Amino acid sequence: MTLQIHPLHPNFAAEVTGLAINRPLTQTEIAAIEAGMDRHAVLVFRDQPLTDDQQLAFSRNFGTIEITLARQMAKPGDTRLREEMGDISNLDANNQLRARDDARRLYALGNRLWHADASFRAEGATYSLLSARIVPGSGGNTEFADMRAAYDALDAKTKAEIEDLVTEHSIAFSRGELGFAEFNQEHSAKLNPIRHPLVLTHPVTGRKSLFLSAHIGGIVGWPVPEARAFIRDLTEHATQRQFVHAHQWRVNDLVMWDNRTTMHRARRYNDAAEIRDLRRASLRGAGPYVPQALAAE
Ligand code: OGA
Ligand code: MN
């Protein structure tokens, strides 16, 4: 088997064939995947049945696993998977469909907004790796948008205007957009805004990208309504169809993406009747990229 990378879209996203990822990889294979990520930002591996252990072992080739905020905030006993696995499913701890008004279901609906994972954390995230174990009969695609192509397509004036802007990200903002506010008092420190540059330069390729996310609620030094209106404009620009690739899930797909250079969102499906069991590992980023606000500010 030879590892091959086949582009899926003119700008980004590619499928990797000729590699089984449920076993230890060689340094050459790891380097080829990293180079593929630098170039394509989203890589799809099909027909890769994985246990949770195998998914975590594959993920650790590329960095350190982080524990998701959803998991940190979950009520004891309301979890189905081990701590390192992000549960991107509509199932509860007993493998039953979550009720319509289940708080974790409502929290998870935030994934329908265009976002980058963990952008509400100072360290951010590099890659996320999502594996499909059960997929619904229809709907439930994941869409990806290429933030490098979106940056490149901005006019020179806008590029100059945004070059040094710093945004503020909080999970409270993205959830608030959907009217979800059931955060427990004990987690309030996790809701504090985190600062990130609006333009990121990729550490390996040097390419610039728009670092957008539904978690952005402000731009440092800007009045809030002006900041939010501008972020909406940029997001609308960055998610035009020419920058988007839709992944239609099959069982045993693994998709990995770079949260520094892409955004993604979940699409609807009939989650009251059909099971969708996806499991995610995400890797800690190298942030903070800019100084954070002082507590008293
Ligand atoms: C995620 C996510 C989207 C989806 O796993 O981080 O946003 O389609 N998933 O489930
Ligand atoms: Mn996500």
Write out pLDDT tens, residues 213-246: 999 999 999 999 999 999 999 999 999 999 999 9
Ligand 1 atom closest to 86 (CA)? 5
The mean-pLDDT minimum among 37-46, 177-186, 253-262, 264-273 falls in: 177-186
Domains of the chain: 4-287 (3.60.130.10)
pLDDT band at 186 (very low <50, low <70, confident <90, very high): confident
Output the pTM of the full model.
0.97
Q: Residue 104: pLDDT band by 50, 70, 90 thresholds?
A: very high
What whole-number distance in Å separates Cα of residue 236 and Cα of residue 15? 27
Which residues lie across from 236 on neighbouring strands?
none
**Per-residue pLDDT for 88 more than 80?**
yes
Average of pLDDT values for 266-282? 98
- Please count the other Cβ atoms lying within 10 Å of the Cβ belonging to residue 228: 17
Share of the chain above pLDDT 70, in %: 99
Looking at residue 76, what is its pLDDT? 87
Whether 5 lines ligand 1, by a CB cut-off of 6 Å, is no
Q: Say which residue the tokens 């582009």 belong to.
A: 7
Number of DSSP helices (H) and strands (E) in the chain, helices first: 8, 16
- How far, in Å, from the CA of 111 to the mean position of ligand 1? 6
Compute the average pLDDT of residues 246-275.
98
* Ligand closest to the CA atom of residue 109: 1
Nearest-atom index, ligand 1, CA of 130: 5
| Residue 296's pLDDT band (cuts 50, 70, 90) | very low
**Residue 187 binned pLDDT confidence (cut-offs 50, 70, 90):** confident
Is there an atom of ligand 1 within 6 Å of 142 CB?
A: yes
Q: Is the pLDDT of residue 270 over 90?
A: yes
Contact 87, 279 (CB under 8 A): yes
